[in-house]
Amino acid sequence: MSERTGMANQSTVMEFLLMGFSDTRDGQRLHFVMFLFIYLVALTGNWIIVSVVILNHHLHTPMHFFLVNLSLTDICYITTTVPKSMAISLTDSKIITFLGCVAQIFLIVTSAFSELSLLTIMAYDRYVAICHPLQYNLILNWNTCNQMVVTSWISCLLYSSLQTVITFQLNFCGPNMIGQFFCDIPQLQKISCSDTKVNEILIWIFGLLVGSFCIGFIFASYGYIISAVLKIPSVEGRSKAFSTCSPHLTVFSLFISAALFSYMRPKSLSFPTIDLFSAVLYTVMPPVLNPIIYSLRNKDIQAAVWKLTSTIKKKILT
């Protein structure tokens, strides 16, 4: 009898309300303008990287191939959450359908896990480039690069499918207000009528397993990289080697710290303002900062962007 009641109650929740931002019109307008600016910056930066890599033959290297995949992931990542949030600000309708929420969870987990996977692969790329430069093209040939990216995407889709199924096996029979600007797994657990202990434990287990492997792999890679760089006799050579690694290490550090804080912190540190801030950090800021960091620190990207800009200016003037 209780199972039937639970199923009936769950079926009555056909939509959720996203309550992440202000209820006042002035606050909603400010939210719209800020998110519109952030979204345009993210789209522009990531599409510039994709474009310059595709248009410049000398950038057709494994490192830039992985960077293009990271940029495409970032575009998908920020598009999953920000446009819907902007639409809510304009229309003052906070509703997201049950299926829309399922789609958001699936795409967010896919994008986040893909980001982590690609950053881990890029650490391996830097390790091979610095520690085994003469064998770089042999180890990271195009077949290997394609296989690594495809494997990463398949793993991401499987993992996000599992997380989505686990999340929406919960019953939602009472309040349907989500204290976030998108459908977030911890927020859905808060409003569920079911016991969420198993779900919370599974998130911890998956987070520890995946996070430990990726962090451990990246730290091991950079341990070998630092050891190899310190053996380079010239200061200029050491500086060049470190400059190729610093953007990747910066991007990874920002992303993993924000994601771990959002999903792994204790409930005692869960407050609406902190939840909102941490969500912005790990879903919105990586797609904005990644192209900026790589553009500022990667001289090849800088030169390609400058060349593209000059070409566009000449075409406009003529």
pLDDT tens, the chain, 318 aa long: 344 344 444 446 788 888 877 777 788 888 899 999 999 999 999 999 999 999 888 889 998 999 999 999 999 999 999 999 998 888 878 889 999 999 999 999 999 899 989 999 999 998 998 889 889 999 999 999 999 999 999 999 998 998 899 889 888 887 888 888 899 888 888 888 888 888 888 878 887 888 788 888 988 988 898 888 888 787 777 777 777 777 888 888 888 777 777 766 666 666 777 778 878 888 888 899 888 887 766 777 877 878 777 777 777 776
Cα–Cα distance for residue pair 245/222, rounded to 1 Å: 9
Cα–Cα distance for residue pair 283/299, rounded to 1 Å: 27
Cα–Cα distance for residue pair 200/198, rounded to 1 Å: 5
End-to-end alpha carbon distance in the chain? 77
* Domain-wise residue ranges, the chain: 2-317
Q: Are 275 and 179 spatial neighbours (Cβ–Cβ below 8 Å)?
A: yes
CATH numeric code, 2-317: 1.20.1070.10
Whether the full predicted model's pTM is greater than 0.75, yes or no, is yes
